[in-house]
Amino acid sequence: MILGLTGSIGSGKTQAAKFFKELGAYIIDADKISRKLTAKGQDSLKEIAEIFGQDILTSKGSLNRKKLGKIIFNNTKAKKALENIIHDKIIAEIRRISAQQCRKSDIIIDAPLLFEIGLDKICDKTIVIWTPLSEQIKRLYKRSKLTRPQIETRINSQMPIAQKMQKADFVIDNSKNKIRLKQKVKALYSRYLINSILKK
């Protein structure tokens, strides 16, 4: 079983993934794969530096993610150029890992851009984590200290959450606390597992 997990930035998707992991699912984290592919010495980082300039590298030659973020979140063409470099590689790596792990355990593909880059096509079901916009902004400010306009730019750079919710098979409301989120994740996972077993 492969479940796709997504949500808007600051919705609590990463925390939900941790709870799924506690229940025995194997987590494939798209963000971690992206970081691995753009690590120092990787071909993807060289391509990024060629397009965006050496200024997006730190003094040690690794990717300065804050600098790159400022560029792509304010420039649609720049964002598209970055996507052209990295997205196909991320998808290929996720497919490779999924093929290795699918016979061993259930898989959760934790991906902010699950629908945007078509990863939902390799999932049996998809899940969206939803939280109110005001709560998103509060969480993002607390963890990043970005200004409200910067936070709104990042939120607006993704597919609208309402659209993601329409596409998803399941929506988990994360407007309360971690305890409630954990209960909802457990209930959904247990329910889906039971349904999968009955269909076999």
Q: Which residues have a Cβ under 8 Å from the Cβ of 59 and sit 6 or more positions away?
A: none
* Total domain count, the chain: 1
Whether 198 has a pLDDT exceeding 80, the answer reads: no
SS3 content of the chain, % helix, strand, coil (to 5): 60, 15, 30
More confident of the two residues 63 and 145? 63
pLDDT over 90, % of the chain: 78
The answer, yes or no, to whether residue 196 has pLDDT greater than 60, is no
User: Which is nearest to 111 in space by CA: 103, 100, 122?
Assistant: 122
pLDDT band at 74 (very low <50, low <70, confident <90, very high): confident
- pLDDT value at residue 47: 96
CB 151 within 8 A of CB 135: no
Mean pLDDT of 91-103: 93
The type of residue at 155 is: I
Pick the more confident residue, 199 or 169: 169
Least confident piece of the model among 114-118, 150-154, 179-183: 150-154
DSSP per position, 62-121: SB-HHHHHHHHTT-HHHHHHHHHHHHHHHHHHHHHHHHHHTTTS-EEEE-TTTTTTTGGG
SS3 (DSSP) at 123: coil
Q: What is the pTM of this model?
A: 0.91
Mean pLDDT of the chain: 91
Say which range, 33-37, 59-63, 102-106, 119-123, has the weakest mean pLDDT: 102-106
Q: Helices 43-52 and 65-72, interaxial angle, to 10°?
A: 50
In sequence order, what are the residues at sequence separation of 6 or more whose Cβ sits closer than 8 angstroms to the Cβ of residue 128? 6, 7, 161, 164, 165, 167, 168, 170, 171, 172
pLDDT at 193: 61
Question: 18: burial class by Cβ within 10 Å (0-12, 13-18, 19+)?
Answer: middle
What CATH number should be reported for the domain holding residue 86? Answer: 3.40.50.300
Number of helices followed by number of strands (H, E) in the chain = 9, 5
Neighbours of 113 (CB within 10 A): 17
Q: How confident is the model at residue 200 (pLDDT cuts 50, 70, 90)?
A: very low
Per residue in 13-57, pLDDT (tens digit) is 999 999 999 999 999 999 999 999 999 999 999 999 999 999 999
- Residue 17 is part of which domain span? 2-199
Q: Does residue 143 have a pLDDT over 70?
A: yes
